[in-house]
Amino acid sequence: MKIWFDADNGPHVLIMKPLVHELERRGHDVRFTARDRAGTCQLLDLYGLRYRQVGGVYGKGMWNKVRGTLGRAAALAAAMRGERCQVSFGHGSRALPLASRLVGVPSVTMYDYEWVDPHLFNRFCRTILMPAAIGAARCREAGIAATKVVHYAGFKEELYLADAPLQPDAVAADLALRPAALKVLLRPPATDAHYHNPEAEAILAAVLQRLASRRDLDLVYLARSPDQLAFLTPYDLERVIVPQKVYDGPSLVAAMDVVIGGGGTMTREAAVLGVPACSFFRGRDGRVDDQLEAEGRLLRVRQAAEVARIPLARRTSPPVAPDNTALVRFICDQILAAAQA
């Protein structure tokens, strides 16, 4: 069977990599398309996954996002019409279900934050894969088409963290992190996302102020765009490292003592690996983070006054990788089942 994967964002590459290996092990042929933003193409290059680049950054504002999605859907359909794939798969890619409908290919999507607009997925996807933490009642509340939802056990990060070749020492050496320093990874919020809440920027300022009080700290600042470097300007930070290339995310997380993020992916990766993780995401609370918080694996900071709760201490235990065997097989089974429905 020929299967079409679309990587719309950098983290999607990590999610898809073990699925590609399993599908190829079963004798199937996977073809990639990729949107050139947030290191997506660089990660595909890093892992040796061949792809067609289709589309890039849309720009800020709802109109640009709508226009970009529609334009990319048309471009994807044009690029893949001759491939004759039997099914497509994406992780929240909005252009993919539209493009798949245009070329007559059933589409499967997977996402784990229930408060995104579900209408495209409801209408154009055959299957919507969601973690069991987002139960049927929450799906109905969020407007997700319950008849299309298939739940999986665990967290999507387990797909790739289980067999990720963690190389924290290599990352630490490449970034010139000081062995005796407290190593903190800070990821600002997605300030151009439709779900962005300005409260997160106030919390970010409080985080930076607290970090500036420590003189034994190496701060790895993972900006989403060059303009986010301006957040650093008011603070006298001892040592800031701004990575100049794309690193393997799990290895970067594993090299840290603490991970603090205004988004979702890296803080959940840290939580699943057992690295102290703090989220100051201020969009609507999602059930996956609710579960990680309830299990004591994720600290959530909801206002600037709570920044003092973030533990700033050297990590004493190594990261622990989960087992992904059952989850990889389950997701691949669902992709293949959608092609045969």
Residues 298, 205, single domain; the answer is yes
Tally of domains within the chain? 2
Residue type, 322: P
pLDDT of res. 195 = 64
Contact 241, 220 (CB under 8 A): yes
Q: Quick one: what percent of the chain has pLDDT higher than 70? A: 99
* pLDDT, average across residues 190-198: 71
Q: What is the pLDDT of residues 13-28, one digit of tens each?
A: 989 999 999 999 999 9
Give the whole-angstrom CA distance, residue 149 versus residue 289.
20
Residues 76, 138, single domain; the answer is yes
Residues 11, 145, single domain; the answer is yes
Residues 109, 179, single domain; the answer is no
pLDDT of res. 283 = 87
Q: Rg of the chain's alpha carbons, rounded to an integer?
A: 20
- Between β-strands 127-131 and 182-187, what pairing exists: parallel, antiparallel or unpaired? unpaired
State yes or no: pLDDT of 114 exceeds 90.
yes
pLDDT of res. 65 = 85
Is residue 243 one of the residues assigned to a domain?
yes
Q: Which position has the token pair 């059933």? A: 106
Say which range, 40-44, 83-87, 290-294, has the weakest mean pLDDT.
40-44
Is residue 90 one of the residues assigned to a domain?
yes
Query: DSSP labels for 268-328?
Result: HHHHHHT--EEE---SS--HHHHHHHHTTS-EE--SGGGGGGS------S-------HHHH
State yes or no: pLDDT of 222 exceeds 80.
yes
Contact 206, 196 (CB under 8 A): no
Query: DSSP labels for 83-99?
Result: G--SEEEESS-SHHHHH
State yes or no: pLDDT of 332 exceeds 90.
yes
Q: Is residue 176 very low, low, confident or very high in pLDDT (cuts 50, 70, 90)?
A: very high
State yes or no: pLDDT of 59 exceeds 80.
no
Is residue 268 one of the residues assigned to a domain?
yes
In Å, how far are 68, 334, 335, 336 from 340, measured between CA atoms?
31, 10, 9, 7
Mean of the per-residue pLDDT values of the chain: 92
Q: Is residue 328 very low, low, confident or very high in pLDDT (cuts 50, 70, 90)?
A: very high
Residues 304, 331, single domain; the answer is no
Say which range, 128-132, 157-161, 253-257, has the weakest mean pLDDT.
157-161
Q: Exposure string (b/e) for 44-64, b if CB count within 10 Å is 16 or more? A: beeeebebeebbeebeeeeee
State yes or no: pLDDT of 162 exceeds 90.
no
Is residue 314 one of the residues assigned to a domain?
no
Is residue 80 one of the residues assigned to a domain?
yes
Q: Which of 76, 97, 88, 91 is nearest to 13 (CA)?
A: 91
User: What global pTM score does this model have?
Assistant: 0.86
Can you give the length of the chain in residues?
A: 341
Hey, what's the torsion of the CAs at 75, 76, 81, 84, to 10 degrees?
170
Residues 148, 186, single domain; the answer is no
> C-alpha angle with apex 13: 1 to 166, nearest 5 degrees?
120
Residues 269, 126, single domain; the answer is no
Expressed as residue numbers, the domain containing 302 is 168-309
Residues 105, 222, single domain; the answer is no
* pLDDT, average across residues 230-238: 92
CATH code, domain with 130: 3.40.50.2000
pLDDT of res. 55 = 85
170: which 2 tokens?
Answer: 């290599």
Give the whole-angstrom CA distance, residue 106 versus residue 125.
7
Residues 13, 152, single domain; the answer is yes
Contact 39, 60 (CB under 8 A): no
Give the whole-angstrom CA distance, residue 268 versus residue 24.
28
* pLDDT, average across residues 66-83: 92
pLDDT of res. 61 = 76
Q: What is the pLDDT of residues 121-146, one digit of tens each?
A: 999 999 999 999 999 999 999 999 99
229: which 2 tokens?
Answer: 């470097």
Q: Identify the bridge partners of residue 3 per DSSP, sorted by sequence position.
A: 30, 87
Give the whole-angstrom CA distance, residue 230 versus residue 189.
13
Residues 144, 233, single domain; the answer is no
Give the whole-angstrom CA distance, residue 154 versus residue 334.
16
* DSSP letter assigned to residue 193: S
* DSSP letter assigned to residue 183: E
Give the whole-angstrom CA distance, residue 328 versus residue 19.
6
pLDDT of res. 261 = 95
pLDDT of res. 259 = 98
pLDDT of res. 193 = 65
State yes or no: pLDDT of 247 exceeds 90.
no
Is residue 63 one of the residues assigned to a domain?
yes
Residues 172, 155, single domain; the answer is no
* pLDDT, average across residues 317-325: 89
Answer with the residue of higher pLDDT: 195 or 250.
250
pLDDT of res. 66 = 85
* pLDDT, average across residues 42-62: 86
Give the whole-angstrom CA distance, residue 220 versus residue 157.
21
Q: What is the pLDDT of residues 25-51, one digit of tens each?
A: 999 999 999 998 878 888 899 889 999
**Phi/psi of residue 291, nearest 5 degrees:** -70, -45
pLDDT of res. 313 = 95
